Amino acid sequence: MELRVMAVGDVCGSAGLLFLQQRLKTLRREHRIDFCAVNGENVSGVGITPRQAEQLLDAGADVITLGNHSYNRREIADYLEDSRFILRPANDSPLYPGRGLGVYDTKAGPVTVVSLIGRCNMAFGPDNPFLLAEKLLKQIDTKLILVDFHAEATSEKLALGYHLDGKVSALWGTHTHVPTADHQVLPKGTGYVTDLGMTGPIHSVLGIRIEQSIATFRGGLNSRYETASGPCKLEGVIFTLDAETGLCLETERICCHDTNSARG
């Protein structure tokens, strides 16, 4: 039996959330998706609220993964403890609220989802994701294993992909918001892509207002980032998995654009 998994790139701001709400269920039907993981750490620009998490789940996400902005909205803390359908990075401090691993039912049997965060060029010091992944794999007893690796460096993402090749079903990168052209099945059978891309304003810098980002790089005073407006896109990758072996059969990039209507 095959399981079709769709991983959706970081949802940025209210514009990205609205576009996801309008398109995700249709995309699931059109592409025969059995399980959908959505990265939601930027729904509030930085962070996510309990209400926004519920909106992502209602829109068609089976699980929400997070990243370095997991806790920017402090009201999410109790929700992280209470809901098993939202995952913060497993290698964050054990004192942080929530969990980094979840097991979910699908038509092909249980699937384990793991959220990890990178260390290269990040402004804090989580545990080593390579060592923690090795530890977690010894505790996981499902054949189907999915990993969202929220990391800055492409080298760190690719290295972890090869490190876990043949040991997990699929590993995708998030955080950098720019889709990469390297979706593939690695030599030992793990589906991989360095970055899914993002869900949010097309004409933006990683979801942020263009002029605001330019001003920052020109050396102006920093101000709180604001999500751009305008037409939106949804980017991600579909992984077709073999339920018997737990390995990936093929990968396919998905990109849905709305170039006609504005999103505020």
| Alpha carbon distance 61, 43 (integer Å) | 14
Q: Quick: pLDDT tens for 148-189.
A: 999 999 999 999 999 999 999 999 999 999 999 999 999 999
What pLDDT, on the 0 to 100 scale, is given for residue 261? 45
| Alpha carbon distance 97, 40 (integer Å) | 16
What pLDDT, on the 0 to 100 scale, is given for residue 258? 85
Q: Looking up tokens 């809901």, which residue turns up? A: 83
What pLDDT, on the 0 to 100 scale, is given for residue 107? 96
**Residues catalogued as catalytic:** 69
Torsional sign, CA 209, 213, 214, 218 = positive
Give the best-scoring range by mean pLDDT among 36-50, 116-130, 210-224.
36-50
Q: Which fold would CATH assign to domain 2-257?
A: Purple Acid Phosphatase; chain A, domain 2 (3.60.21)
Average pLDDT over residues 39-67: 96
Residue 66 or 124, more confident: 66
What pLDDT, on the 0 to 100 scale, is given for residue 222? 73
What is the CA angle 76-82-88, rounded to 5?
55
When the pLDDT of each residue in the chain is averaged and rounded to a whole number, the result is: 94
Average pLDDT over residues 222-238: 89
Tell me the β-bridge partners of 173. Answer: 149
For the full predicted model, state whether its pTM sits above 0.85. Answer: yes
Q: Quick: pLDDT tens for 125-150.
A: 789 999 999 999 999 999 999 999 99
| Alpha carbon distance 137, 147 (integer Å) | 11
What pLDDT, on the 0 to 100 scale, is given for residue 42? 95
pLDDT band at 260 (very low <50, low <70, confident <90, very high): low
Query: 223 pLDDT exceeds 80?
Result: no
DSSP string for residues in the chain: -EEEEEEE-EE-HHHHHHHHHHHHHHHHHHTT-SEEEEE-TTTTSSS--HHHHHHHHHHT-SEEE--TTTTSSGGGHHHHHH-TTEE--TTS-TTSSS-SEEEE--TTS-EEEEEEE--TT-SS-PPPHHHHHHHHHTT---SEEEEEEE-S-HHHHHHHHHHTBTTBSEEEEESS-S--S--EE-TTS-EEES---EEEESSSBTTB-HHHHHHHHHTPPP----B--S-EEEEEEEEEEETTT--EEEEEEEEEE--SS---
* Closest CA relative to residue 4, chosen from 111, 88, 103: 111
pLDDT band at 263 (very low <50, low <70, confident <90, very high): very low
pLDDT band at 198 (very low <50, low <70, confident <90, very high): very high
Q: Quick: pLDDT tens for 74-107.
A: 999 999 999 999 999 999 999 999 999 999 999 9
| Alpha carbon distance 78, 245 (integer Å) | 37
Structural contact between residues 5 and 34, judged by C-beta atoms closer than 8 angstroms: yes
What pLDDT, on the 0 to 100 scale, is given for residue 208? 83
